[in-house]
Structure 1
């Protein structure tokens, strides 16, 4: 933790974001820039356009990729104080670090944006694969545990805040499993675009030097080799449209998670859920009894903040004046902040879920105390046995009222319908009126597990 940090990401929350520094700190950005430049040198070497690299040069290149140190980063910053250009500082540093005999291979015919777009893209790609997807999987696996444990527990539902037909607790958790799984699958198969095509995207400098070499095919193969798809037509910059797509999928995961945060908060407020108590924790500075749902609240707040930033990033980064302006540069440096707030929100959601308990007795009691919930199945079955307008019949005795179960059964008793139908209705209890909830829960769980394989 930096005790005088301006951002809570580097202060209060620093301990929770240690893995993120590898990707989003300034050192991480410089590392990815250097990595791009060096992978490009290796590709040039394979193409045979320059004198072959010797064993020592290749080893130096690989060592820089595998062992980029704090000292390396500090040297780049020293050079940048003179050049006032970060990418050029990386190039000069790499001349020193790799000791290439032909230093002109470094940054050959490239523009800064060739290095920059791929640096940020490799950064996002690595983060998605190593941190983001595993975090979503952790949330899904916890939700699966809850859904399977609770899939047969009857659960009171609310539509418009009012009592509605019951479900099971597990099936209501499965709704979120289903939603998160859909977006997870999109992120899992997601591929970023990249470009390495020169100052305005036409390979002009490259072709000026080697006019008979197929630079377009070279660039496309280079990008695909490293897990990207080539953006075939660009200006000086890569258009960042796939950044926006990634951020928007992330926003959608966050929106679903916020919905879950709020539902858990509400169910806790109604004593349908509760939280495990941890010794030593305090819920209020003045009310000793309090066990507050702070993880769900913290999750909601961080995800809201993340989404506001992700929305801005998605809007801004897709726009650039003519062939290039620099307004995207300072904005891109905040991508890590947006994704870090998103990660914090998901971390807090998972912490809340790990504390969550269901108050099964309260759930059952609320349903037992709500016989009016049987008006839906009663009026539905009466429709198929010829009763005229059973909806209005049940509405008269229930809407805005508090009918007892005995009142509803007495109404059924007085109807001119087959006794077998009456006997079937007499057996109904609100706690059993859960439809196909268990099977729906199982299907959602199965789909999530299949997606994560």
Structure 2
């Protein structure tokens, strides 16, 4: 039956129902849809709504700062009650506020101007409508934006991303300590090599990640409030008697940021590029963790603990796929693609200002979101791993040739000590081991025929691939 005008629904050119007109909003991107729960904490810091709330906060604090310091003739400090009511504009910022701001912006076609008007509407109720002209005083939009982004990014890093990253590194560190003395065959260039311990290899990873977290934790979040081209020109024209550098510095530092004294219209964003490079480096190391763990799973070093009711493969019932690590790899790559682009784009601006940074910075939350999602997936993946120690032991027992390094090094030491018959140790071990498997009996037979000193021979005859791990277990103690 044909649809009547009253019941007609929107359809795409292919005849399908238009999902964009569904009664409930359908997300275009996976971070706001499928993976929303994993990245939800970032919404409070890096969403458009959070940006607007921070803009309101900066404008409010600027008004309070100007009046509290008697910067402008004719103003007096606000009462504690008036300051509290002003700050309530920020603390009570909600969905209705977001809607109202959008309605104002539809008229102004300018996001920061909408914030100025939004605050101005509320001053009469506080009894300070005479200060309407003081809202956004001396500011260009970028004065508000750079501080708002800095506050949002700082909050996202310190309250969401860093805690999640630190928890993951702590999880890896615990695994390293738990497996510090579990011997494991190394593979350099994909070939059997000097054994190590599983714990030591995990500790290497944790140590690398920790260094990056230490760099990130020391990030300086810069800000400025110096006008249209960074000269305080409008400020000085309006109030030449004020020490505007001191006023601006005090305000920026009062927000918990680092004052940048030399800028164009925009804060140069160099600190953002530095931060994103550090986070991208963390991501890349974590990506390496994923590929290594995936490879260890593939050769049986780790068993994956099945999740009750979960399907590994749609057609092969026996499979438990390492999807957490594969998902993390993809999200780390997407995150780094964005972080690298942001870092390259934000440090460049034509002359005193262009707007490329405006569009770029709206993707900061997406870059962080994919990284946070990856961290979550790696953590969940590690929780479902069980070390197959018998597989690691069997692998070592199949590769006695890795003791060739130890034997030829002992022969070198014996030669230096004056023991005869220790010539060409490397070449002799190469002839014995290169390109072929040597079992324990053959290796011990070879050692017994070398003519080593009794102490050296006894030491080598007691050595097995599983015992040839040096001080790997002790090295785990370097973890913080």
If the TM-score is normalised by the length of the shorter chain, which range does it land in? over 0.9
Q: How does 1:7-406 map to 2 (within 5 A)?
A: 7-49=29-71, 50-99=75-124, 100-101=128-129, 102-386=131-415, 387-406=422-441
Residue number among 411, 415, 426 corresponding to 2:461 in the alignment = 426
Per-residue CA deviation, residues 320-370 of structure 1 (Å, 9 max, x unaligned), is 110001121111111111110111111111111111111001101111121
User: Are 2:472 and 1:437 aligned?
Assistant: yes
The CA distance in 2 between the partners of 1:250 and 1:293, in whole Å, is: 24
Is contact 2:69-2:77 (8 Å) kept?
Answer: no
The CA distance in 1 between the partners of 2:301 and 2:98, in whole Å, is: 53
- Higher Cα Rg: structure 1 or 2? 2
Per-residue CA deviation, residues 240-273 of structure 1 (Å, 9 max, x unaligned), is 0111111111101100100000000000000011
Deviation at 1:98, TM superposition (A): 3.4
TM-score, scaled to structure 2? 0.91
Is contact 1:60-1:98 (8 Å) kept?
Answer: no
The CA distance in 2 between the partners of 1:124 and 1:109, in whole Å, is: 25
Gaps in structure 2 of 5+ consecutive residues = 1-22, 416-421
Per-residue CA deviation, residues 210-236 of structure 1 (Å, 9 max, x unaligned), is 112111112112222222111111000
The CA distance in 2 between the partners of 1:247 and 1:317, in whole Å, is: 11
Per-residue CA deviation, residues 264-296 of structure 1 (Å, 9 max, x unaligned), is 000000001111111000000100010010000
The CA distance in 2 between the partners of 1:72 and 1:59, in whole Å, is: 18
Structure-2 change in CA distance of 1:424 and 1:55 (3 Å):
closer
The CA distance in 1 between the partners of 2:320 and 2:134, in whole Å, is: 62
Moved over 3 A (4+): none
Deviation at 1:3, TM superposition (A): 5.9
RMSD, aligned CA: 1.3
Is contact 1:57-1:98 (8 Å) kept?
Answer: no
Is contact 2:68-2:78 (8 Å) kept?
Answer: no
Deviation at 1:8, TM superposition (A): 1.0
Deviation at 1:93, TM superposition (A): 0.4
Deviation at 1:207, TM superposition (A): 1.1
Deviation at 1:2, TM superposition (A): 6.5
Gaps in structure 1 of 5+ consecutive residues = 448-453
Per-residue CA deviation, residues 93-128 of structure 1 (Å, 9 max, x unaligned), is 001123333111110000000000011110000001
- Count of residues in Structure 1 that have an aligned counterpart in Structure 2: 445
Deviation at 1:193, TM superposition (A): 0.9
Where relative contact order (Cα < 8 A, 6+ residues apart) is larger, the structure is 1
Is contact 1:3-1:11 (8 Å) kept?
Answer: no
The CA distance in 2 between the partners of 1:283 and 1:167, in whole Å, is: 31
